[in-house]
Structure 1
Amino acid sequence: MSCPPFPFLSVLPLATSTASSLSKIQLFSDTLQRLILARANFSIDSYQLSDFADLMLDFPGSIENSVLKRQAEYLAGRYLVRLGMQQSGLFNPEPPQLGIGLLRAPAWPDVVTGSITHHQHSACAVVLTQPLAINNFVGVDTELWLTSQQASEIAVSIHNPNELHILVSAGFTNEQATTLLFSAKEALFKAICPFIGGYFDFDAAELQACYYFAGNTATTGRSGCLQLQLTTNWVAARAPQQKYRCWFSCREVDVLTLVCSDKFVDFEDPEPSQVHVP
C-alpha cells in the first residue's frame, strides 16, 4: 500500500483505467474527504496525442504547438484533477473540464478550488471540496532536488542567510534547503495568488521555523511543516492571513509541498518532543 505524503491524509482506493503515459497513480484524502490529493508519474516517451481522447480530456489549442513535455504534463495534471473532483461527489455525472484562468492558473468550477503541480516526470493535483474563499485556499508544488550548481545560481533570490541556517540546522544540505524553500514559496504563491491578483517575489515570505514529524525513516522519507510569514506589506494587505504552515514530504528524487487552510488539516500540532525546531 502506498504511504500518504502527509500524516493527515489516508489512502483511497483507486479503480480506473489510464493512458500508457501515466503510472503509479495514487489518491489520498483527509478524514472527511474535504482535501483530496492525487499524484502520478508520467512518461514523455510513452505519451501520445490520442491519450487526451482516451481519457476524455479536452486538448486546448493553447498547447497544440507546445513541446511533448508540456502536453504530457498538462494531460497528467488535468487527469489527476478529474480524479479528485470525481472523488468529491459534487459532480453528476462527470466534472467539467478545467479552463485556463488568471495568470494561466486553472479555472476551477464554482463549487471547488484546487492546485496543480508537476516536474520532469511526476504530477500532483489537490482539490478542496469548497469554493475559493478567505478561509478556503490551497497551493501545491513539487520539485526535483536541485544540483549544487543549480542551487547556487538561484539561492540569493530564494532565501536569506537566516532562512538557510534554519534548514541546514534541521539537517538539510544547502542544495536541499534551497530546493525546499523554492518549492514552499511556490506553493504559497499558488495558494494566495487568487487574492493578491499578481506576481510577487520570493522575499515576500520568510521562513520562521522547521518542524519534523515523529516516525520519519529512510523508507518513508522526511516530512514536517515549515512556518512562513509574509514580509511584503502590499502582499500581506491582500492575503487571507499573515502566517502559513507549509507541509513538506521528501522523497529520494523530489519534494512535495502543500499550503492550505488549517481547517482542512485534521492533525494536531506535534508535541515539542516530536519536532525539530532549530
Structure 2
Amino acid sequence: MHTHHSTFLLAGQTLHRITFDPATFSDADLLWLPHHHQLADAGRKRKADHLAGRIAAFHALNRQAIPAIGSSGEPLWPAGISGSLSHSGTLAVAICRESGLIGVDCEAIIDESEAREIQDGVIDIQEARVLAGCGLPFALAFTLAFSAKESLFKALFPQVQAWMGFESARVTAMNADTLTLTLTRPLPPFAQNQAFTAHWQRSDATVVTLICDE
C-alpha cells in the first residue's frame, strides 16, 4: 500500500501522520503485522485502515514496535507507554509518550445535513447551545464535538476499561483552539463533572482532536 509519513504539532505534542491510498492495498501488505491472522476475516477497507493506523503507531514508537489488538479492539501499547491512534478516509494519526492520559481522533468534517440528522445521538440540548454560540459553522463544531468525545474515551479507556457512550461526557465550551468536556457520570477512577481539555486542528476537510494531561 502506498503511504507517506510526516509529523505535525498539536498542543506542543508531536503527532505522526500517515496518508495512504487504499486502492493500492493488497492482502500481502498485512504480513508486515505480527497479528495479521486476526484480520483474516476483515473487509478490505478495515484491513487498509488498520494497517495505516499501525504504520503511524510504528513511527510514533520510534519504529521499535507495532501495537497488537486488545480484547476490546483497542491497540495494545508496549509496557510503560501511553498511546493512541485514529484513522479516517486516507489519513491515520498516532501519538505516544511514556505516561499519562492520551487520546487522539481524526474525522472528516461531517456534512451539515448528516450532522443535523444524527446530532441527537451525539450531543444534548445544552451542548447544542454551546455549539450554536461558539462562532464556528455547525458542521465543523459538531464534528469537533464528535471527535473530541472519541479522543476523551480513548484517553480514559486504559483506566476505565468500559464502554462509554456519547452521553458520558458533555461539551461545555468550544473555541478556535480547544473544547472543554465534562463527565456526566462517574467513570472510576474519574469523577462526575471532571473536566478535560481537547485541543483541535483542522487540515482541509479533516479535523484532529487531542486529549492529553500535562
Note whether the superposition's TM-score is higher than 0.5: yes
- Select the residue among 86, 96, 100 that pairs with 1:117: 86
Aligned partner of 1:253 in structure 2 is 205
Q: For 1:79, give the aligned amino acid.
A: I
* Higher percent of residues as strand: 2
- What 5-or-longer segments of structure 1 have no aligned partner? 1-19, 87-93, 213-223, 264-278
Residue 75 in 1 paired to residue 45 in 2? Answer: no
**Alpha-carbon shift at residue 36 of structure 1 (Å):** 3.6
Letter matched to residue 98 of structure 1 = P
The answer as to whether partners of 1:142 and 1:257 remain within 8 angstroms in 2 is yes
The one of 38, 52, 66 aligned to 1:62: 38
Name the counterpart of 1:27. Answer: 7
Among 6, 10, 15, the alignment partner of 1:37 is 15
Aligned twin of 1:239: 190
Q: Which runs of 5+ in 2 are unaligned?
A: none
Aligned counterparts of 1:104 and 1:169: Cα–Cα separation in 2: 36
What TM-score results when the alignment is normalised by the length of structure 1?
0.70
Please list every run of at least 4 consecutive aligned residues from structure 1 whose deviation after the TM superposition is greater than 6 angstroms. Answer: none
Deviations 1:166-224, CA, capped at 9 Å, x for gaps = 23322222222221111010000000011111112212111121233xxxxxxxxxxx0
- Between the aligned partners of 2:105 and 2:135, the Cα distance in structure 1 is 21
Structure index of larger Rg: 1
How far 1:61 sits from its partner (Å)? 1.4
1:84-129 deviations in Å (ceiling 9; x for gaps)? 111xxxxxxx62332111421011110212011001211101111x
Q: In 2 relative to 1, CA 28–78 (structure 1 residues): closer, same or farther, beyond 3 Å?
A: same
The number of residues matched between the two structures is 213
1:194 correspondence with 2:172: no
Residues 30/152 of structure 1: CA separation in 2 closer, same or farther (3 Å cut): closer
Question: Which residue of structure 2 lines up, in the alignment, with residue 108 of structure 1?
Answer: 77
Whether contact under 8 Å (2:30, 2:36) holds in the other structure is no
Looking at structure 1, the residues matched to 90 and 124 of structure 2 have their Cα atoms a distance apart, in angstroms, of: 30
Q: Report SS of the residue matched to 1:208.
A: strand
CA distance in 2, matches of 1:154, 1:29: 31
User: Where does residue 106 of structure 2 map in the other structure?
Assistant: 142
How far apart are the structure 2 equivalents of 1:173 and 1:162? 17
The Cα of 1:68 is off from its aligned counterpart by: 1.5
Once superposed, what is the RMSD of the aligned Cα atoms? Answer: 2.2
Q: State the shift of 1:153 in Å.
A: 2.5
CA distance in 2, matches of 1:96, 1:178: 35
Query: CA offset at residue 73 of structure 1?
Result: 1.2
Q: TM-score, normalised by structure 2?
A: 0.89
